Amino acid sequence: MSTALKQVFNKDKTFRPKRKFEPGTQRFELHKKAQASLSSGVDLKGAVQLPTGEDLNDWIAVHVVDFFNRINLIYGTICEFCTDRSCPIMSGGQKYEYRWQDDHKYKRPTALPAPRYMSLLMDWIEVQINNEEIFPTSIGIPFPKNFLQICKKILCRLFRVFVHVYIHHFDRLGTMGAEAHINTCYKHFYYFVTEFNLVDRKELEPLKEMTSRICN
């Protein structure tokens, strides 16, 4: 990453604190392996494939946390421009609107301003990935039976951040000189979720044209 981009994507811009892997753990080693593949010039389609002998759930867990950190960082760069006034509804253009629902305050799908939706989303994901019963970090503790379903929901909702940023704030990222970096992050995410069928194709529709342009 260039010096200019490092200044754009600095830790102070992170929307939420980054989740890190503990050194010495298997998850940390997998994370290093994934990062090494990305920085070695390997094509992204190859980089997302499950390494021989590795557990699929571990591989997905590492990537879910990594994508949370990266997308969190991307949104952090534009969050000061994403306001209740500029984005009164969490959407992806006029055709797609995303409503928030959880098991607490919002038990029914509720239309919210984009900043509020993003805040609730990042809080919700943090709870999931910091829950040892869902994302175990100790050797010998199994993943829950519904682990894949939880990850699919997390990744589906993270994809909506890309949708909103690309459609409503991409000019701002272009002004920052960050377009190439965001495109690479998106390609990595797209190749991963499609490699393991983690996001429904219907959910990917809002960025179909963008995907065709940068992923082919």
Query: Distance between the two ends of the chain, CA-based, in angstroms?
Result: 22
What does pLDDT average to over the chain?
A: 84
Tokens representing residue 162 in the block: 């890309």
151 assigned ligand-binding residue: no
* 146 CB-contact burial (10 Å; exposed 0-12 / middle 13-18 / buried 19+): exposed
Q: What is the pLDDT of residue 22?
A: 57
185 assigned ligand-binding residue: no
Give the three-class secondary structure for 118: helix
Distance CA(62)–CA(33), nearest Å, equals 10
Q: Give 68-103 pLDDT, tens digit per residue.
A: 999 998 999 899 999 999 999 999 999 999 999 998
169 assigned ligand-binding residue: yes
181 assigned ligand-binding residue: no
Query: Can you give the pTM of this predicted structure?
Result: 0.83
Domains of the chain, earliest start first: 26-40+54-215 (1.20.140.30)
CA 171 to chain centre: 20
Q: Give 138-159 pLDDT, tens digit per residue.
A: 777 899 999 999 999 999 999 9
* pLDDT band with cut points at 50, 70 and 90 for residue 13: very low
Q: Give 98-141 pLDDT, tens digit per residue.
A: 999 998 899 999 999 999 999 999 999 999 999 999 998 877 78
